[in-house]
Structure 1
Amino acid sequence: MRLLKSILRWGALLLAAGLLLAVLTVFLFRYVNPPTTAFMLAWQVENRSGVRHDWVPLEQISPWMPLAVIASEDQRFLTHWGLDIDAIASAVTAFQEGEGLRGASTITQQTAKNLFLWKGRSFIRKGLEAGLALGLEGLWSKRRIMEVYLNVAEFGPGIYGVEAASQAHFGVEAAQLGPEQAARLAAVLPNPHIYDASAPSGYIRQRVAWIRGQMGQLGGTELVRPFY
């Protein structure tokens, strides 16, 4: 009994320390640009090679890019508090009906995952992702979340961040992206190891057309004007 109490006490202390470290790290990254991410480190270890990554502030990213990822990935981004309850409920219902566990991740959740977690789908990881997303929403502005997301998202094998992606796929800086190019980058986000923004398949072209339509329905770049 004494041993069990000791184990539980140390477990609680380690959990509390981990939570405190996570909060402090999230708070630090509100002001300091993350030098790397969990996904970048995993790529480097698994492939024994470096990554292509160049950080740029949001004001040096074309406004078409945040609009494209909102249209593609998370149309409630500006109004939710980190989690899309409707999307989560839909994913849980699909899982209960025998389908695989699917994403339903907001841009905030994807930012948390890319920064701190690992690939794969499990309830444990999704729970951690949700908790971290709430922390990001509580400590960061929507503008900061978008800035970090666009700088850490993977747009191709070993290509992280919109600046490196713009250079690799189109030979231009992120500030020069047009609506078509931004939509093509957003279209490959679900699986950048299969889809290629510079040589889009028929499926990606269809998805780009849908994203472009959604960008217009959302009001164009006026939607993201507060970021600039």
Structure 2
Amino acid sequence: MDIRTTRIPKRPSPPRSAPSADRPENEPPRFVSYPIPGTGTSPDPATPTTTQPPAGADQAQPPVQPGTRSRRKWRRKLLLALIAPLVLAQIIAFTFSFGMTPPRTAYMLEAGEPVVYQFVSMNHISRHLLAATVAHEDEQLGTRVGAFDIGDFQARAGAYFQGKPDPSGSTIPQQLVKNIFLWDDQSAVRKGLEAVLATQFSYTLSAPRTLELYLNYAQFGPHLYGVCAASWYYFGTPPWNMSDYQSAQLMGVLPLPDLVRRDPNGGIYLGQGVHPAVWNLVNGAANVWVPRQIAGLGGWQAAVATVGITDTADSHADRRADSDSCSTMPQSVQDRIRSEAG
């Protein structure tokens, strides 16, 4: 039997491709990955895709420089230092709008004891006094938006930095926040704080409430504050009973209260030895400036109507037994008069 050997042909080797022009012949092959079948739509398995690392996985983050971190902290602290007082002032303004009336202010504390003072409600203040205050101190209190006219404020600031006299003077909101929170100084810092606080108060407090607080904290003599004490001290009468002439005289006291003295027989002393500025201010306010300004506003009723007040102090006569009516002379006023009499 002829046994023949069957030779199994060798599988032909795939032809070696020529080296790519982009890759040298002896460069090791790149690692490639193919999509796993059955995982959804995928490209043709014959088409390799180069594996890319996740975005940013191998990218090193630049280190934060110590100087940058300290600057950020400094900016945050500065921002907090600027915002915190404004927030606090706004909170205080809201408490004042809801009836808070502190027994002492910054001006009182700076002047020291003994302080002659007692609060009186707007309901028990003569409308002649309210009209005189609006006419003499701030005619636009009830009609202006904000604490001051921006043009007037710029003129005041320009005059201050040029060393010139103040062309207009502070408004009632500005004087109010100065009396409550600030100090007796003419520096730019104090005036700037005054402007910021006054703006916050003007948008929080109503015009009648602003006027009420102003008349309660304004200074009317050495260590003498508010119309309750002033009306009893100078004229021996409660604030709801003050006449138009007495009210106008009190307006003349406001610019130089530390120089004003009480006449031993009652009233504001304008006799021999009085300071010339006091004589001019009190007489000028009572006889010229206040009557003229009130007339320009259309009379005292029209003047108080600009701040939203249309009643009179007599409309609240049935409440004069209340503690905030100032119907009797405060003890501090009695002590002052007694000490001056010797």
2:297 corresponds to = 218
Classify 1:133/1:3 alpha carbon distance in 2 versus 1 (closer, same or farther; 3 Å).
Answer: same
Does structure 2 conserve the Cα–Cα contact (< 8 Å) formed by 1:155 and 1:185?
Answer: yes
Post-superposition CA distance 1:72-121 (Å, at most 9, x none): 11122221121133432432343455425677210111111111111111
Superposition RMSD on alpha carbons, in Å? 2.0
Using CA pairs below 8 Å that are at least 6 residues apart, which structure has the higher relative contact order? 1
Larger proportion of helix: 1
CA distance in 2, matches of 1:20, 1:202: 43
Distance in 1, Cα, partners of 2:294 & 2:168: 22
2:128 maps to 1:41: no
Partner of 1:135: 200
CA deviations 1:159-201 (Å, max 9, x no partner) are 1111101111111111111011111111111121124571145
Residue of structure 2 aligned with 1:51, choices 93, 115, 119? 115
Q: Where in structure 1 are there 5+ consecutive unaligned residues?
A: none
Partner residue of 1:31? 98
Which residue is 2:284 aligned to? 206
Contact 1:101 1:122 survives alignment (8 Å): no
Do 1:113 and 1:129's aligned partners in 2 also have CA atoms closer than 8 Å?
yes
Report Cα offsets for 1:17-42 as digits up to 9, x if no partner: 22211110111111123212111111
CA positional deviation for 1:140? 1.0
* Identical amino acids, percent of aligned pairs: 35
**Structure 2 match to 1:13:** 80
Kindly tell me the number of residue pairs found equivalent between the two proteins.
224
Report the secondary structure of 1:155's partner residue: strand
Tell which structure's C-alpha radius of gyration is larger: 2
Q: Distance in 2 between matches of 1:98 and 1:29?
A: 35
Supply the AA of the counterpart residue of 1:127: G
Any residues of structure 2 matched to 1:1-228 within 5 Å, and which?
A: 1=67, 2-35=69-102, 36-44=104-112, 49-80=113-144, 81-95=146-160, 97-100=162-165, 104-196=169-261, 198-200=268-270, 201-203=278-280, 204-209=282-287, 210-222=289-301, 223-225=303-305, 226-227=308-309, 228=311
TM-score w.r.t. length of structure 2: 0.61
In 1, Cα distance between equivalents of 2:239 and 2:71: 55
Tell me the amino acid that sits aligned with residue 279 of structure 2: G
Which deviations, in whole Å up to 9, do the C-alpha atoms of 1:40-74 show, x marking residues without a partner? 11112xxxx22111111101000111111111111
- 2:35 corresponds in structure 1 to none
Contact 1:84 1:104 (8 Å CA) reproduced? no
2:108 alignment partner AA: M
Correspondence for 2:39: none
Give unmatched runs, 5+ long, in structure 2.
1-66, 262-266, 271-277, 312-342
